[in-house]
Chain A
């Protein structure tokens, strides 16, 4: 029952970078800014590679939608252990309006083309914070979804998934084929070792355009503005607990 896994990954501004709004107020500054693989996607890639190591999966194909630099992200996934990559070419200036609806259509078409059994994605991308792509991909394929997964195990001929939900944890059983999305605690991703990085340079990356898959990526939104959030005024430091409680009482807090 060795599965074929399609893993999605996205190149985003690194999570530790302090982002700056562009002067034209239509986006954030990306030029010269450090980018990395979306942290949730690292977890997704890791999970897929572990499935291969456990012989649950036979092949891991990694896909990324974006400009030429997305190939760096694909190479990182290949260095972590994915077998081959697919780069869906999207020009850099279209990335702000490329949305889960477009990506999910691309992934659905690719899943069919590759005869994938599992599509593995990160729960959300830390730039747009949408948390939609896995759900939409599953819906387009009419496949079950195991989203916000903190544990995935083979059970009978399907998967048992433990999900992180608002009140705690939920367990579901889903048939295969299925779409999964990785939450923070699914695993701890490995660092790509230098030998694996070198090996990854020989792995294949196929380049495709959305039109080749019959997917229309015309924008569904118009960005009206991107602005800084309200600035919080600097606070004050208090010397001890008594001073703190005094200040809180002045503010109207009393138990």
Chain B
């Protein structure tokens, strides 16, 4: 009787069973030219899950090149490529059927993507059809079913266990290293993606900010301006400082709302969530929702003329001063 019980325990060990059938699909993000690094952070999370890792590249051009970039990362079994003009603009109504078709064929246990506007738009659409509850913006993997994510603008951390048979997860880049190229040689294959179906949505165009500065999401140093900057012209002094530091420039919601800078510079709960080595907050009061976007930065510097500003409670170094004098001085002396 003792040996029977032992055998039963072995057979029903959930961890080992899951590992054997576990297979993850990472949905790649790209712009029809290059891979978006956010995907590399998602691949690292996939590796922490264990099991087989595959990638899907869907787009309207140059998908093979994007696939080759991914292939250089070690530990990936196969990369599926679905290229067709109908995927122009990466419309979720067009891309979701592709992921549903691949799920039908390969029966992945996990579908991952780097957390971004693209994946937030797409993955929940897929999850709804699969009748599973997607898990957004994870910052940790405990095991194949158990994930960690922030709630209440990062003021609480929830660990949750998913009961669904397929886990659909978006991955916060700041919480996982970017998987590096290590001479991988994944197999790249074409995937016969569904392209028929009515067009209920149409991509018209985009207005993207162009900048030679480092990408805000991944920059090591960020200079950020808030309401205290008073107007968009004044942001020039932050651009000058950023150029000297090789930094990216961000902004608080107040600055974007006031039209000082475009929306893609917004850092906060519903903007970009970043964790650079150095974050310099200029004329930013430090509202809860802004802190959600930058409080994991290694070093925080705050410059504000209001000594009571909440930003000083999270800053490592706080300078109570008139930013219009302090910032040019910093730029000159740095």
Residues of A whose CB lies within 8 Å of any CB of B are: 13, 15-16, 18-19, 21, 28, 99-101, 104, 123-124, 126-133, 135-140, 143-145, 147-148, 150, 160, 163-175, 178, 183-185, 219-229, 232, 234-238, 240-242, 244-245, 247-248, 251, 253, 255
Contact = CB atoms under 8 A, between A and B. Distances in A.
B150 A139 contact: no
Q: Which 10 A-B pairs have the closest CB atoms?
A: A139-B128, A135-B124, A136-B128, A220-B133, A132-B124, A144-B201, A167-B208, A235-B316, A165-B117, A144-B200
A172 B202 contact: yes
A135 B92 contact: yes
Interface stretch (B8-16, B183-191, B295-303): B295-303
B158 interface: yes
Contact of B263 (A126, A150, A240): A150
B159 interface: yes
A29 to B, nearest CB: 10
Contact of A245 (B160, B207, B262, B333): B333
A127 B125 contact: no
20 contacts: A15-B289, A28-B156, A101-B134, A129-B137, A136-B125, A139-B125, A139-B126, A145-B93, A145-B201, A166-B116, A168-B207, A170-B207, A171-B204, A171-B205, A229-B156, A232-B295, A235-B314, A241-B319, A245-B330, A248-B301
Nearest to A221: B160
A135 B313 contact: no
A184 B158 contact: no
User: Dominant SS at the A interface?
Assistant: mixed
User: Dominant SS at the B interface?
Assistant: mixed
Interface stretch (B17-25, B59-67, B104-112, B161-169): B161-169
A229 B150 contact: yes
A237 B125 contact: no
A226 B202 contact: no
Interface of B: 89, 91-93, 96, 116-118, 120-122, 124-129, 131-137, 142, 146, 150-164, 200-209, 217, 221, 244-246, 253, 256-257, 262-264, 269-270, 272, 277-278, 288-289, 295, 299-301, 312-321, 326, 329-330, 333-334
A124 B320 CA distance: 35
Given A101-B128, A132-B124, A166-B118, A160 B204 contact: yes
A168 to B, nearest CB: 4
B156 to A, nearest CB: 5
Contacts of B329: 241
Given A226-B158, A241-B319, A168 B200 contact: no
